[in-house]
Chain A
Amino acid sequence: MDAVETKMIPIYIMGQRYEVPEGLTIMKAMEYAGYQYVRGCGCRGGICGACGTIYRIPGDYKIYSALACQTAAEPDMYLTQLPFFPANHVSSDYAELEGVPEDIYKLYPELFRCVACNACSKICPMDVPVMDVIAYIKRGDIEKAAFEAFDCIQCGLCTSRCFAEAPQFHIMQLARRLYGGKLAPKAQHNAEAAKAVRDGKFNPMLDQLTSMSLEDLKKEYIEREIEPETAGDEWKPKETKWLLEEYLR
């Protein structure tokens, strides 16, 4: 088989031109160019928010953003990483908070400086509608804010662009925490299951397993009924006495 020649493309890292193989992520391309990550890289999976990157393309006035670990380097990108952006984080005692919008207003009154410029939503690499989330918070809708901001990975790029100098990602995180801990309905079945554990309801089942001989355990294991891969939500095993709701009944 003939060797496949890799096409090289030019990219500009902090203004310096490099030739890198086409098809690499920005992160890999920077490593290829000789940069070694100490900060600005975490999960390499698009989840930790450490690798926020700003870039421009010649001839285009727009500012673009990317997660370096998720986005392919393209020819003529002028890029720089912004792994961290200072943002005022106000500590609070979660137990003291009431789960009302005023909790947020007191800690981050600057959110009322928002002028709806939308620079935050435009820069967000996760497509969080940041401006709208701030608008939901202003009108007291913590639940909507929490859901709409669910994808935020705290990269801080929105805050780097904010005309109101508001630390949106801290504000949105507080909204999610208030919603999750104080507003969302509690999962009743979870509480019941936890109580059953505490009350020792599962002990006989565990005792039975721990007192079995290794041979019997292996046999049980090998003969166990396996849920077929194609099983739908309605699937139940033939032996139903171990299902939580039956077992606890």
Chain B
Amino acid sequence: MTAAEGSAASRSGARGSGASGSGLRIAACAKWVDLRPGVDALTGRVSTDERRFGFSAADAAALEVALRLGSEWGAEVDVVVAAPAPAEGAIRSLAAAGASRAIRVDLPSGASSKQVAASLAAATADADVVVCGDYSLDVGSGSVPASIAHRRGAAQALGLISVTPESPGVVRAVRRLDGGRREHLRVRTPAVLSVEGSVATLRRAPLRSLRAGHAPAVEVIDPVGLAVASVRLDRTEPVRPRARALPGPNGSAAFDRVVELTGALVARTPPRRVDAADDADAAADAIIEQLAAWGYLDPS
């Protein structure tokens, strides 16, 4: 990782020189998750163990990207993690790689994506660039970065496979699309970027910043209360359709009643077949037409 080493060398210069730099701020967000939850082969029960908790490759890559942007632009990097108190040791070690601040938003491990995104958006409010992993290992919806961008009214570029700094405040990024295509983006701050784990390998923290008194202390901030916080979801029950009385089948013989019940031997509309391989457009039109006919779609 020569790139990482190169920027590690210039980092110490960058750190204290926020003023001489661009005045930009960068935040890297990470989620503290069980990297290897246990699954019982027979019951499928999932078990977690705090000792296996850590940060995914994508989250580590996000910090590395943030550090590289930081050293290129002379900007400071904050590490922001929404996690409970036991995560602090891990947050400190993560931040030791070169962040100037380590911030923990005090949320339990199972907090909803909405709550996490709202809190992270508030905690990174003064950052020009927020870098996240593409999706978390446990929930994995990938909605948090998008949601942060939305709340902050920032640009978003998600699922990136390469991020290169251009002039201060502008990055070039590459995103993977379906079918092996690539999308080249130019993103201006304020922006939220989410990156795949393969983008970069996080540099190793220098020994000195791991030692007591050398690593930044973890600042703890309260989560943001959501607007709907007064309504709490206790549990969701399965659908229970109401009982409906149905007339019994006619027919004196059991066979006739079964025939009537199952609807067999009655004329019905035959299924329609459109071969999509021949004409995909016609197939799509046919599906839409049919859905509209059944009342699932508004025909307009």
Same complex origin of A and B: no
